[in-house]
Amino acid sequence: MVDDEPVSETKLTTTKRRWAADGKFLTGRIARPETERLPPGQHLVKDWPVLDLGQQPHITLENWRLDVTGLVEDPLSLDWTAFQSLPQSDNLSDIHCVTTWSRYDNRWEGVLTRDLIDRVMPRPEAEYVMLTSYDGYSTNLPLADFAGEDAILATAWEGAPITRSHGGPMRLVVPHLYFWKSAKWLTRIDFRGRDVAGFWERNGYHMRGDPWREERYSGD
């Protein structure tokens, strides 16, 4: 799959493009994460809503693979057993979706992105990553955000394997950014020297997506 592979049009993609064009949900307020737990314009939920692009790929553990490519000293192509042999960690974090829901205190298990980064050794010119998923989805991140303290390549949530609908068997979780940056069904991480827009970023959404600065849309 390539970064600009088309993804089928759904009601969600049509609606979210319209939200971006209209600036829906914007409050114009900036919050400070060190003093405010809920970002501007968000509301709390207790469940975990399912949002996708109309596809939920079925990936068996036998067929699963993660490729780590680009500007790194040690590229990797990991099957499930090799991925499980990497250092395993757990952490607790809040998550915030651009569609305005937030959920507190999510317990994750998996591989911290910092441990993966230590394994592949990015070159000095690597400043961004492009994430590609089994359903053709892509999203971009500054390397500094991908390496965030709480960022994790998660295989379990609340003590159980992450379900297919939520991106299992493995998904990225970058809790300090809007959740569209936390790619489901992740299959490739490409380290790059320049920033290139992913799927939602090409469709009106912010290149970074900081919830406390309300970086929802590209014009913000």
- Exposure class string for 147-176: b at 16+ Cβ within 10 A, else e: bbeebbbbbbbeeeebeeebbbbbbbbbbb
Residue 5 inside a domain? The answer is no
When pLDDT is averaged across residues 202-207 and rounded to a whole number, the result is: 94
Q: How confident is the model at residue 1 (pLDDT cuts 50, 70, 90)?
A: very low
Res 11: pLDDT: 60
| Nearest of 92, 167, 152, 141 to residue 116 by alpha carbon | 152
When pLDDT is averaged across residues 201-205 and rounded to a whole number, the result is: 94
> Average pLDDT over the chain, rounded to whole?
90
Secondary structure class of 154 (helix, strand, coil): strand
Residue 207 inside a domain? The answer is yes
| Nearest of 64, 37, 48 to residue 134 by alpha carbon | 64
CATH number for the domain spanning 25: value is 3.90.420.10
Res 186: pLDDT: 98
Question: For 146-201, how does the pLDDT look when each residue is reduced to its tens digit (9 = 90+)?
Answer: 999 999 999 999 999 999 999 999 999 999 999 999 999 999 999 999 999 999 99
Residue whose pair of structure tokens reads 């709390």 in the numeric block: 44
Which two three-digit tokens encode residue 14?
């049509």
Residue 219 inside a domain? The answer is no
The neighbouring-strand residues paired with 145 are none
Residue 167 inside a domain? The answer is yes
When pLDDT is averaged across residues 70-94 and rounded to a whole number, the result is: 98
Res 192: pLDDT: 98
| Total structural domains within the chain | 1
- Cα separation of 118 and 202, whole Å? 30
The neighbouring-strand residues paired with 129 are 141, 191
State the residue range of the domain holding 15. Answer: 11-213
Over 90: is that where the pLDDT of 54 sits? no
Residue 4 inside a domain? The answer is no
When pLDDT is averaged across residues 207-215 and rounded to a whole number, the result is: 96
- Cα separation of 41 and 217, whole Å? 14
Residue 66 inside a domain? The answer is yes
Contact 209, 181 (CB under 8 A): yes
Res 214: pLDDT: 95
Residue 29 inside a domain? The answer is yes
Which two three-digit tokens encode residue 216?
């929802």
Strands 152-157 and 171-173: antiparallel
Look up residue 31 and give its amino acid: A
- Cα separation of 151 and 187, whole Å? 16
Residue whose pair of structure tokens reads 């829901």 in the numeric block: 101
Residue 203 inside a domain? The answer is yes
- Taken in order 49, 3, 59, 189, the sign of the CA dihedral is negative
Res 4: pLDDT: 46
From 13-27, 42-56, 107-121, the region with the lowest mean pLDDT: 13-27
